Amino acid sequence: MQTFSLSNGISIPAIGYGTYRVTDHNAEALIQTALQCGYRHIDTARMYGNEAEVGNAIRHAGISRSDLFLTTKVWKTCLSYDDTLRSVEASLRDLGVTYLDLCLLHWPIPEKDRDQWREKDLSAWRALERLYAEKVLRAIGVSNFLPHHLMPLLAKAEIKPMVNQLEFHPGYCQPYAVSFCQAHQIQVEAWSPLGRTRVLEEPLILELAKTYGKSPAQICLRFALDQRVLPLPKSSSAQRMQENLDVFDFSLSLEDISRLMTLPQLGWGGNHPDTF
Ligand code: A2P
Per-residue confidence band for 250, with pLDDT thresholds at 50, 70 and 90: very high
- Classify 107 in phi/psi space as left (phi over 0), alpha (psi -120 to 50) or beta: beta
Q: What is the mean pLDDT of residues 4-9?
A: 98
Name the nearest CA neighbour of 219 among 259, 247, 249, 261: 247
Cα 233 to middle of ligand 1, angstroms: 7
Per-residue confidence band for 1, with pLDDT thresholds at 50, 70 and 90: confident
Q: Is the pLDDT of residue 50 over 80?
A: yes
**Any idea which of 24-28, 75-79, 177-181 has the lowest mean pLDDT?**
24-28
Name residue 168's amino acid.
F
CB 101 within 8 A of CB 132: no
Q: What is the mean pLDDT of residues 106-112?
A: 96
Choose one of 235, 244, 245, 266 to mutate for the ligand 1 pocket test, by most ligand atoms within 8 angstroms of C-beta: 235
Per-residue confidence band for 56, with pLDDT thresholds at 50, 70 and 90: very high
Which residues lie with the beta carbon below 6 Å from any ligand 1 atom? 18, 192-197, 200, 215, 217, 233-237, 240, 243-244
**Any idea which of 20-29, 32-41, 184-193, 239-248 has the lowest mean pLDDT?**
20-29
Choose one of 215, 240, 271 to mutate for the ligand 1 pocket test, by most ligand atoms within 8 angstroms of C-beta: 240
CB 138 within 8 A of CB 128: no
As a whole number, the mean pLDDT across the chain is 97
Tally of CB atoms within 10 A around 2: 11
Global confidence as pTM:
0.98
Per-residue confidence band for 24, with pLDDT thresholds at 50, 70 and 90: confident
